[in-house]
Structure 1
Amino acid sequence: MSEQSSHQARGSHVWFIPDGYIPPESSGSLESHESICVLNTSDEDAQLAITVFFEDRAPIERIPAIVPGRRTQHLRTALLQRDGEAIPKGVPYAMEVESSIPVIVQYSRLDSTQPANALMSVMAYPLQS
């Protein structure tokens, strides 16, 4: 493939992250947080729609995000919102990430609630189309 040819979109259109939880407290200088890490290998921008599901309330539907072509983006879940509604800290949740083109999705959590920090990173579950 020559450098002038277009780059192919790789991955899946739909991804699931079943275990989300933003710790309500942090210790030390690092803030506990979570991120959806998205890789877009295409020349085309990926238009994302993120739906957040909860145990005891209606979901936050189709939060928009854009990942530019040939880029990666780390979307902090605490900053995601739609119509002023955001994911609350200390509440379990899950997410569905839909994309206009195939992308790769990873999920990371930094838990700094104790002096010994924990970092977890896992691949999201892709829906095979």
Structure 2
Amino acid sequence: MNKYGSTTWFIPDGFIPKKSSGELESHEAICLLNSSKETAEITVTVYFEEDEPIKDIRFQVKGERTKHIRTDYLVGKDEKKILRGVPYALKVESSLPVIVQFSRMDATQSANTLMTTMAYAINESY
């Protein structure tokens, strides 16, 4: 197993606008890269300012593969989802080291904006 990446990542600034303009829909996504040969077991927790977290959202990323997931498609065990117009944050935990990137498509104006950044990796040696 290689050790590229981290097993815990945070994305503190999530927000999907309620309305979009034009043909594109505003959305956000996480992209995970698993460069090892083994399958990574992923658990996501969604945090909110006012509501209780959505916990235990689980999926897999096969070895030497990527997985792109729109955050509005994440669903908790009680069918709770991220609502548009509500600020949120994410914690991504993996059974083995992966790389996590966050992207936002803001289509609220005719001049669309695409932003992408690496998530914040926790250094397990702290």
Q: Same fold by TM (over 0.5)? A: yes
Q: Tell me how far apart the structure 2 counterparts of residues 65 and 116 of structure 1 sit (CA, whole Å).
A: 34
Q: Which amino acid aligns with 1:17?
A: I
- Kept after mapping to 2: 8 A contact 1:33/1:109: yes
SS of 1:86's equivalent?
coil
Q: What residue is the counterpart of 1:4 in the other structure?
A: none
* Aligned match for 2:34, one of 40, 47, 51: 40
Q: Is 1:9–1:40's contact at 8 Å kept on the other side of the alignment?
A: no
The superposition leaves residues 20-61 of structure 1 with CA deviations (integer Å, 9 ceiling, x where unpaired) of 011111111111100001000011111110000000011001
1:94 paired residue number? 89
Which of 40, 55, 61 does residue 61 from structure 1 map onto? 55
Taking structure 1 as the reference length, the TM-score comes to: 0.92
After superposition, the CA RMSD in angstroms is 0.9
C-alpha distance in structure 2 between counterparts of 1:95 and 1:79, whole Å: 13
Q: Which residue of 2 aligns with 1:8?
A: 2
Give the TM-score taking structure 2 as reference length: 0.94
Residue of 20, 34, 51 corresponding to 1:26: 20
Show structure 1 runs of 4+ deviating over 6 A.
none
* CA offset digits 1:69-102 (Å, max 9, x no partner): 1011111000000121111111000010000000
Out of 99, 113, 118, which is 1:118 matched to? 113
Aligned residues: 123
Q: Quick one: which amino acid aligns to residue 80 of structure 2?
A: E
Question: Matched residues, percent identical?
Answer: 54
Does structure 2 retain, via aligned residues, the 8 Å contact 1:16–1:95? yes
Query: Does the residue aligned with 1:50 lie in a helix, a strand or coil?
Result: strand
Q: Distance in 2 between matches of 1:68 and 1:109?
A: 24
Structure (1 or 2) with the larger CA radius of gyration:
1
